[in-house]
Structure 1
Amino acid sequence: MNTDSSTSQFPVSQLNFSRQIKGNETEIIISRYEDHFMVIATQIGTLGTIMYARKEEGVSINPTFNVSVIFGKRDEPMLVACARQMIEHMSLSGSSRPLVLSLGLKDHSVVCFSALLFLMGK
């Protein structure tokens, strides 16, 4: 079921949609708060691993990005890599807001994460 809905009601605007990724129905919710973004992507109906990602402003020309696992799987490097790619993409798009990312995925493959990043980049 591919459904799309967008709300821009006060105080939080959000975009909800559902897509098939490698045969798994994936629900995605993107919420824009005043001070951060929250992205939930789930194939299991629950939040899964919750991460916090932010761009570190520093003295150097190239920014650094920090990702920390708040709750969930700490031994899954692909989850952290996905969060890092997402915050880098957001930063290149001009946003300086941090990201709270929740990934509840059945499939932790590169293909799944690439599809997810593509969908969120739209």
Structure 2
Amino acid sequence: MDHARSPAFPVHQKNFKVEIEGNTTDVVLCSYDDHFFVLVTQIGSMGTILHARKEESALAEPTFDVSVVFGKYDEPMVMVCGRQLIEHISNSGSSKSLILSLGLKDHSRATIKGVISAVTKNCLWVFTVG
């Protein structure tokens, strides 16, 4: 994998390519003050954009809200991807929300699993808790 980190102010970012289900996949991870932005594309464009966040309550266990901002509303595996990543972010100790863009050639379970694996192995939130 080709890893490139840019410590340039104000956005900490990481870019790399990975092979997922036979498709070259470009990944861009950015850490802003209040959000993480994750772009995963196999098609050279942004694709479906999701917003995911952890909602906490004093009376109940935290819940995770994932919603489509733009794109395919009827792709359950895309929602699974958003939920898995926001849970990973939360479990790492960060309270930031996630903006996720998925431009994938297919939304199969194997492709989504590959996306989740690639992003969590290379995540920025372990280094930027906030």
Aligned pairs, number: 121
What is the CA distance between 1:6 and its match in structure 2?
A: 0.7
CA distance in 1: counterparts of 2:5 and 2:40, whole angstroms: 16
What is the CA distance between 1:4 and its match in structure 2?
A: 1.4
Counterpart for residue 11 of structure 2: 12
What is the CA distance between 1:59 and its match in structure 2?
A: 2.4
TM-score w.r.t. length of structure 2: 0.90
Q: Deviations over 1:4-30 (max 9, x none)?
A: 101110010100000110110000000
> For the aligned residues, what is the CA RMSD?
0.9
Letter in 2 for 1:87: I
Counterpart for residue 90 of structure 2: 91
Letter in 1 for 2:79: V
1:22-101 correspondence to structure 2 within 5 Å: 22-101=21-100
3-state SS in 1 of match to 2:53: strand
3-state SS in 2 of match to 1:95: coil
Letter in 1 for 2:54: K
3-state SS in 1 of match to 2:66: strand
Identity %: 51
The structure-2 alpha-carbon separation of the partners of 1:21 and 1:56, relative to structure 1 and needing over 3 Å to count, comes to same
Q: Deviations over 1:54-87 (max 9, x none)?
A: 0001124421000110000001111011100100
> Which aligned runs of 4 or more in structure 1 are off by greater than 3 angstroms?
none
Q: Which moved more, 1:82-91 or 1:110-119?
A: 110-119
TM-score w.r.t. length of structure 1: 0.96
Unaligned runs of 5+ in 1: none
Counterpart for residue 105 of structure 2: 106
